[in-house]
Structures are given as C-alpha cells and as structure tokens.
Amino acid sequence: MTIDAGSPAGARGAGDARARLVRAAESLFGERGLDSVSLREVIAAAEVGNSSAIQYHFGDRSGLVRAVLAKHHGAVEARRHALLDQYEADGSQELRTLTGALVRPLAAELDNPDGGAGYLQVMSELASAPRPVLSSASIGDPADSTYRWRALVEPRLTREAVRLHRRFTAVQFTLTELARRGRDERVRGTDERRDDRLFTSHLVDLVTAVLAAPVSEETVRLARRRSGRPATS
C-alpha cells in the first residue's frame, strides 16, 4: 500500500522518520562527536530506509544539527528566562545567582533521557570550534535568554574582563563540563540515574569564579599591547 505523504498517515510517517533521525543523531553525536559520525550512520541508526532522508527532512548536515539544537532550545530558554525573571524581581546582586541562570537550565538536560546528553555534546563542540558558531543568533537578539544573561552580567565585570570575552569563556567552560558529565553517565551503562545536584552546584561555583577572577596586571598589559593601546592607559 502506498501512503500519500500529504495524508494524515503520511504526515505522521514523515514526522516519525524526522524524529528518529534527530534521536539517532543525538545518540551518535553524544557518543563520538560531530565530526566522527557520517550521515549514512545516522540514517542506518534511525532505520528510516531511505538514503536521502536527511536531505529530504533537513537539507544537509547543518540542518540536522540545527534540528538537534532546536529540539532542546525552547525548554532551555524557558528555564533561563524564568531564573532571570526571578533574579530581577528579587533585586539580587549575587553574581552566583546570576551564574546559576546560565548553568542550571543547561544542566537540567543531564536529566533529559530524550537526547539531553547528546545536545550538550553538540553545544560544547560548537562553542569550542576554532570559529565558534554557537552564539551567532543570540548575540544580537534581545529576546534570547543568552543575550539577556550577557547584558545582566556585563556590569558585574571589569572593562578588561569584558574585552577578554570572559562571558564567552564562562559559557565554553560550562558546556565543556556538562558535556563531559553527560559522556560519563553514558559510559556507566546503567539505567540508574546519578544525582547531579552536587555536580551542578560545584559547577556554578567554578563558573562564578571564572567570571569574578581579577585580570592580572600582566594580562592587562599584554592585552593592551595587542590592541595597540598604551600599556598605561
């Protein structure tokens, strides 16, 4: 029997295939990283039986990666905006509270059995690439929670820390540690869930320290020399 893709049954079938491809990509990317997984392997793992399935559903490899990110983005955004709302409503001046708004929405994905660890691995690799592409959309979008977080953190940092991209370093460190934690949990090979509360709290401590660390006179001098500004300015 042939099912018309435009019929309800056909649409469900296409949607199921798309979801299976995303889940397969999350799993394989989480295990081996973005660059070590071929599209053919994703198709085989998804068992969709169509060699052009990724092109049909996503256009190309980048489209598949964007679909993995989009699957989790809404939940992470909602969690971070809620924490930032609370931060502003409380009139808090605690840097650690603000740091928690960066870390905790992402750390919640460790508890997401539907691809959370794979999502964190993809995010970590994109943020650590030679030309990071992670924040290109959020940097200029005031509605994005990362843009909002960056704006709230900036006044808490020294001018030199801002120039040295301390906020992005905090994001990279957060994602690297969360991806490592996700890989560790996968390697354990058990259905028993690990309690991530201590790990997350300690990570918030560490990221707070990254943001708050003073910029040394040596670093300031070298940074100013590289930018062509007078070392004493």
The answer to whether the CB of 81 falls within 8 A of the CB of 140 is: no
115 and 49 in one domain?
no
Give the model's confidence band at 9: pLDDT under 50 very low, under 70 low, under 90 confident, else very high. very low
Task: Name 215's Cβ contacts closer than 8 Å, sequence gap at least 6.
Answer: 158, 160, 161, 164
| Number of domains within the chain | 2
In a domain, 233, yes or no: no
Structural domain contains residue 72 = yes
d(CA 220, CA 224): 6
29 in Cβ contact with 57 (< 8 Å): no
Tokens of 21: 């491809």
Residue 91 lies in a domain: yes
Q: What is the mean pLDDT of residues 69-78?
A: 97
**pLDDT confidence tier of residue 3, bands split at 50, 70 and 90:** very low
Q: Tokens 């691809």 — which residue?
A: 115
Percent of the chain residues topping a pLDDT of 90: 75
In a domain, residue 35? The reply is: yes
Average pLDDT, the chain: 88
Q: Are residues 38 and 75 in the same domain?
A: no
Which residues touch 227 (CB under 8 Å, ≥6 apart)?
163
Q: pLDDT value at position 207?
A: 98
Domain stop point among 20, 42, 59: 59
Provide the residue range defining the domain that includes 134: 68-227
| Count of CB atoms situated within 10 Å of the CB of 119 | 26
- Kindly state whether residues 90 and 200 are assigned to the same domain: yes
**Cα–Cα dist 34/51, whole Å:** 19
In this structure, the answer to whether residues 54 and 74 fall within a common structural domain is: no
Q: Is 152 in the same domain as 176?
A: yes
pLDDT tens digits, residue range 96-141? 999 999 999 999 999 999 999 999 999 999 999 887 765 445 556 8
Taking residue 216's Cβ as centre, other Cβ atoms within 10 Å add up to: 10
Q: Are residues 165 and 215 in the same domain?
A: yes
Say if residue 55 is in the same domain as residue 118: no
- 222 is a domain residue: yes
In this structure, the answer to whether residues 159 and 132 fall within a common structural domain is: yes
Is there a domain that residue 232 lies in?
A: no
- The pLDDT of residue 227 is 79
Same domain, 30 and 119: no
Output the six-digit token pair for 199: 């790990």
Q: pLDDT at residue 79 above 80?
A: yes
